[in-house]
Structure 1
């Protein structure tokens, strides 16, 4: 492909004044205004993981300026709740914040889901993204259970169910020693709620109601599997103020089978291609990691291959 090479504001090299241009600048995860406009999720409630902060949406913007259509720009590939400042694959995060047999509260001190949704990154991500804050509450019995028996929820390859995690207590204690603003400990639920910035009476009432569901063997609010119902009753209690992490945006410009960008007349814009996170087409409104983990990486390769192959045949043959 001939033409002039230039750099966009995020130093992505693009080709202009050419017979063909391929937009592949990595989505818009680092652009607050574009992120909130397209996804309707507050940028303050999430944190990008694994990106370089250069995904400014330049390719999407350039495509829209040329009359391109969008394909589900709301789609985000969430990963899990994390604790900023801590290793997101360590025991503190995986065992404390990403387990089905815990209890999640939101900013109103209310449960808002069946906590076992944490097993599915996309499902839990979409649910948690509707909350201002997500807090995990555990007790000392839970900590001991993790150290003796391990986790119930497998998160990638970090901790296997049934394998003891003896370092869990130490990681919690280390975080408390550093006065981490997202890890708290108290002898009562009311005191813990105060530290977390929650309503103490509402939090205590919600925990008491949940414990009643455990005794009854039935979660009357969300029908959580009794296998994952565990009381929160033994002090000290621990609270984690999490942030929902995501890898990148995965909605983008509408493309066809050759990665050609589709315009408002639903016809390909001559010479314009999009790949990777600038190309919407692999996913609908959700990124389904449970079906195809790592699919965004493969999509980047395949869409780029389609674009290059078609452009060579169309404009250079």
Structure 2
């Protein structure tokens, strides 16, 4: 819609035309953008530029340089932009704010494994194994065999991702027993219901046990009859892992989690072999932040003065998000993108008209 309406107003849209450099006059005003079109340099003269180029989730060099919680086993689940707009702004003196923030997601299962669920394996529902691993009534352990979080933070996806990211090697292991697998197969999942947890909306997952057995032996799933075997596969100390499981089971029996205060509705003991361990890690959807702006979406220099004619919008702009993306406010990133783009456009138009 925006594209067609823009064309009606005479707007020219260039695709396959990467911007390479923003040019300024001696007085500091933006004057042009150097782009590459059909393999040749091309200069677009302008009085104003809006940078809305997304993040830098596809640029490992920038991720390692700026993102302290980036790990080599993480992947970008969103669009792998390379940070060109951020770099061009910094090149002409733009200050940065919030640089290095990742919009984390997880736990994620390596290779996004899928399960074929249903009574007919050849014509059945496809569900990600990740959904089982995210259940709030499971047990989450780190690589050392220690429990590290209230598992029901999974309802706040980015909070649980932060917890995973803080663990050794950015790894987590979801633990279930056979009784829980049978329960999930019969009653279905909790996580797909959001925070309301309406039991009547749940549907079973027939074939779950069969599919888990079929996936057994992959490097992200272990099924074993003893906790020692689970610990050995995880690389954890046997005594530490068994102590963690025992402490958790005792909390379930009491209906009170004195360590992390997990809701008693999600406290389910794990005592029936075989036991299941699903390995995962945190990934990220995008980067947030970078270019410092004011309330008019004007790009600021290192003295907090606007660079005349330069604006930024969307996740390339910094300062609108703290250290954790707010998943409780659904659409926060897209909402900011829409409105920051609108505000930048209005102010850019006003800037041009005033000249």
TM-score, normalised with respect to structure 2: 0.78
Written as runs of structure 1 = structure 2, the 5 A alignment for 1:29-68 is 29-51=57-79, 53=80, 55-68=81-94
Deviation of the 1:313 alpha carbon: 2.4
Q: Would the alpha carbon gap of residues 74 and 5 (structure 1) be closer, same or farther in structure 2, given more than 3 Å must change?
A: closer
Label 1:107 to 1:262 Cα distance change in 2 as closer, same or farther (>3 A). same
Tell me the secondary structure at the aligned position of residue 80 of structure 1: strand
Which region of structure 1 is more displaced relative to structure 2, 185-194 or 67-76?
67-76
Q: Which residue of 2 aligns with 1:21?
A: 49
Is the aligned partner of 1:215 residue 2:244? Answer: no
In structure 2, distance between residues paired with 1:200 and 1:264: 53
- Matched with 2:14 is none
Q: Give the secondary structure class of the aligned counterpart of 2:105.
A: strand
Among residues 125, 135, 141, which one is paired with 1:105 in the alignment?
A: 141
Alignment of 1:1-317 (within 5 A): 3-7=32-36, 18-51=46-79, 53=80, 55-87=81-113, 90-95=127-132, 97-131=133-167, 132=169, 133-154=171-192, 162-176=202-216, 179-291=217-329, 293-316=330-353
Please report how far the alpha carbon of residue 316 of structure 1 lies from its aligned counterpart in structure 2 after TM superposition: 4.8
Gap change, CA 1:156 and 1:60, over 3 Å in 2: farther
Provide the C-alpha distance between the structure 2 equivalents of 1:278 and 1:268, rounded to a whole number of angstroms.
16
Alpha-carbon distance in structure 1 between the residues aligned to 2:235 and 2:263: 29
Give how far 1:6 is off. 0.7
Unaligned runs of 5+ in 1: none
**CA offsets per residue over residues 176-218 of structure 1, 9 Å max, x none?**
2xx4211111111110221222222321221122112222222
CA distance in 1, matches of 2:180, 2:311: 52
Q: Which moved more, 1:186-195 or 1:61-70?
A: 61-70
Query: 1:268 and 1:124 mapped to 2: Cα distance?
Result: 38
CA contact (8 A) 1:249 1:277 kept: yes
Q: Is the 8 A contact 1:25 1:57 kept in 2?
A: yes
Larger Rg: 2
Worse overlay, 164-173 or 214-223: 164-173
- Please state how far the C-alpha of 1:67 moved relative to its aligned partner: 2.4
SS in 2 for 1:314: helix
CA distance in 2, matches of 1:252, 1:246: 16
Alpha carbon RMSD of aligned pairs, Å? 2.8
CA distance in 1, matches of 2:198, 2:284: 23
Per the alignment, in what secondary structure is the counterpart of residue 73 of structure 1?
A: strand
- 3-state DSSP class of the match of 2:283? strand
Change beyond 3 A, Cα 1:256–1:249:
same
8 Å contact kept, 2:150–2:261: yes
In structure 1, C-alpha distance between the alignment counterparts of 2:178 and 2:309, rounded to whole Å: 62
CA gap of 1:170–1:290, structure 2 versus 1, over 3 A, is farther
Q: Note closer, same or farther for the CA distance 1:272–1:2 as it changes in structure 2 (3 Å cut).
A: closer
Q: Distance in 2 between matches of 1:257 and 1:117?
A: 33
Q: How much does 1:252 deviate?
A: 2.3
Alignment CA distance shift 1:41-1:16 (3 Å)? farther
- The answer as to whether partners of 1:250 and 1:277 remain within 8 angstroms in 2 is yes
Cα distance change of structure 1 residues 277 and 109 upon mapping to structure 2, 3 Å threshold: same
